[in-house]
Amino acid sequence: MIPSVECVGITKSFPGVLALNDVSFSAMPGTCHALCGENGAGKSTLGKLLAGIHRPDAGTITLDGRLVHFDEPRDALAAGVGMVHQELAFCEQMTVAENLSLGHLPRRRGFVDRRAMCERAEQLIAEVAGADAPTIDVRRPIGELTVGQRQLLQIATAVGSGARLLVLDEPTSSLSEHEATHLYDLVARLKARGVTLIYVSHRMHELFQLCDAVTVLRDGAHVATRPIGEYTEAEIVRLMVGRTVEGYVRQWNDTLLDHAAPTAVAGNTKAPRLTVDRLSSPGKFDEISFRVEAGEIVGLAGLVGAGRSQVMEAVFGLDPAARGTVRVDGEAIDIRTPHDPMEHAIGLVPEDRKKQGLVLGLSGRENLVLPTLSRFASATLVRRPAERTVTQQYFSRLRVRAPGIESATVSLSGGNQQKIVLAKWLAANCRILLLDEPTRGVDVGAKAEIHALIDEIAREGVAVVLVSSELPELLSLSDRVLVMRQGKLVAELPRETNQDTVLREMLQ
């Protein structure tokens, strides 16, 4: 049988970086073929070459036995190649329906048929998200949706293109476990139609559930390609990172206050580090109240659209419509802009790192010191050597893979960009840290290190609020789990809770 796609000797360089070096692999029709590797190993670059976003410096790409050369993404689409990007890209001022119909707008009597366009968009969303998913209004501007909702729409866009070869780059990184199951069903249906899928994911269980074969990359080079049955999870990880990586198991802090009992503000009892009281935002969430002790990690669980990220943004001053009370160590603070919580040592690792977490045109050093720039300033001068010392310290601590600390952030892989977002708040010595999907797009080795870092900063007395779409991550790190559903806080669960209980509360 002729391979659906075959890459031979693919090499690709960017300024200062050899992204791919003589990489070869092939995938058969109707199969799901995984690409694995650490952040910066070349997985996304290889996917973008297949999608016509980049052109190889050397090597050949063959589709169904035919040699192809793509000068732009339109050429790849015409050849039947679609891609779901790790970094979401939409026309944010246009509606959901318009985005899903770009390039093939339905027409009637010379005009755009908006009814047909909306019906097609609703059908595509239902196919990807499932009938039980929260409804997405296809007439809304796409910029008003959450990252998780936009990720679902990007998958729908690629599926709707009718591609015979579909590249999925971290397609479940912003989806909950429940929502991801609909994608797994979709993958099975696409394979049955003869569609070939190139699947990039750091979630090991997905590879063994979905994929027929796995290609491992390390430092831009091909390491191995084998059927999935010839791998174990430990073997894939060892090939990816060149060493054995053990998953981090949190050592629980049993000295925390009894969470079942209310904490008094007056008297001899110390106030909670963070208290949120009756926080509401019209159309987003309603009457949210919780507290977090110093040294405690509180998880927020919920489906896409439940309001988890919106609550975090409101606490950090990103929602001017939010009303309610936020206290730090018992003192109510007036939050009008992000400057106000930052003045009280509150930091936010946002869900959308490109829009809210980074200035992509700046270097890694410049991004890392943004929250703490005054620390390095003397009169009108900035002490660059001190900046470089701190930046290098956190680049090493989080194993940021970059040509140097002065490299443009936009040139780094998504996972390494995420590490810089986390590093800048660690360097700011926050007392309260709001973590929204802190390991999104991060490889398995770095994920264990970030888990250890989160535990470490909690043990240093930082209060942590953690949002994660990966229930194992949420349950392994959190002292308590708060469950949100349709903008309301519906349950508080102890750390011994299992995944089934959390899912049941999310879905009721």
pLDDT per residue as tens digits for the range 117-175: 899 888 888 877 766 666 788 899 988 887 777 877 887 887 777 789 999 888 887 77
Give the range of the structural domain holding residue 369, as residue numbers without chain letter: 356-423
Instruction: Give the span between the Cα atoms of 27 and 34, in whole angstroms.
Output: 9
Regarding whether 236 and 329 lie in a shared domain, the answer is no
Q: Does some domain include residue 89?
A: yes
Tell which of 241, 261, 282 closes a domain: 241
Residue that has been written with the tokens 């991801």 in this structure: 180
Q: Does some domain include residue 152?
A: yes
User: Residue 281 corresponds to which tokens in the numbers above?
Assistant: 């935002």
Q: Is 1 exposed, middle or buried (0-12, 13-18, 19+ CB in 10 A)?
A: exposed
Of 14-23, 77-86, 151-160, 207-216, the poorest mean pLDDT is in: 151-160
Q: What is the pLDDT of residues 224-268, one digit of tens each?
A: 999 999 999 889 888 887 765 555 556 665 544 443 334 444 444
Regarding whether 438 and 289 lie in a shared domain, the answer is yes
Regarding whether 325 and 217 lie in a shared domain, the answer is no
Q: Where are the beta strands (DSSP E) in 100-170?
A: 107-108, 111-112, 165-169
CA-CA-CA-CA torsion sign (294, 304, 157, 129): positive
CA-CA-CA-CA torsion sign (129, 132, 138, 144): negative
Quick one: pLDDT band at residue 313, thresholds 50, 70, 90?
very high
User: Residue 358 corresponds to which tokens in the numbers above?
Assistant: 């980074």
β-pair partners for 108: 111
β-pair partners for 409: none
β-pair partners for 281: 285
Regarding whether 213 and 255 lie in a shared domain, the answer is no
Q: Count of domains in the chain?
A: 3
Regarding whether 117 and 180 lie in a shared domain, the answer is yes
Of 22-26, 42-46, 179-183, 498-502, the poorest mean pLDDT is in: 179-183
274-296 average pLDDT score: 95
Tell which of 423, 450, 471 closes a domain: 423
Tell which of 403, 423, 443 closes a domain: 423
Q: What is the pLDDT of residues 190-207, one digit of tens each?
A: 899 899 999 998 888 889
CATH of the domain at 59: 3.40.50.300
443-452 average pLDDT score: 79
Instruction: Give the span between the Cα atoms of 178 and 198, in whole angstroms.
Output: 22
Regarding whether 119 and 221 lie in a shared domain, the answer is yes
Q: Does some domain include residue 351?
A: no
Instruction: Give the span between the Cα atoms of 132 and 118, in whole angstroms.
Output: 19
User: Residue 375 corresponds to which tokens in the numbers above?
Assistant: 């620390």
Regarding whether 233 and 202 lie in a shared domain, the answer is yes
Tell me if 348 sits within 8 A of 438, measured CB to CB.
no
Q: What is the pLDDT of residues 332-350, one digit of tens each?
A: 999 999 999 999 999 999 9
User: Residue 117 corresponds to which tokens in the numbers above?
Assistant: 């366009």
CA-CA-CA-CA torsion sign (332, 337, 343, 349): positive
Number of other CB atoms surrounding residue 373 within 10 Å = 11
Regarding whether 389 and 480 lie in a shared domain, the answer is no
Regarding whether 266 and 225 lie in a shared domain, the answer is no
Q: Does some domain include residue 437?
A: yes
Q: Does some domain include residue 389?
A: yes
Regarding whether 263 and 191 lie in a shared domain, the answer is no
Nearest of 143, 483, 484, 469 to residue 286 by alpha carbon: 484
Regarding whether 268 and 203 lie in a shared domain, the answer is no
Q: What is the pLDDT of residues 86-114, one digit of tens each?
A: 766 677 888 988 888 876 778 888 888 88
Q: Does some domain include residue 350?
A: no
User: Residue 448 corresponds to which tokens in the numbers above?
Assistant: 């264990």
The pLDDT, as a whole number, for residue 87 is: 66
Instruction: Give the span between the Cα atoms of 178 and 483, in whole angstroms.
Output: 14
Regarding whether 361 and 325 lie in a shared domain, the answer is no
Instruction: Give the span between the Cα atoms of 491 and 506, in whole angstroms.
Output: 9
Chain centroid to CA 272? 30
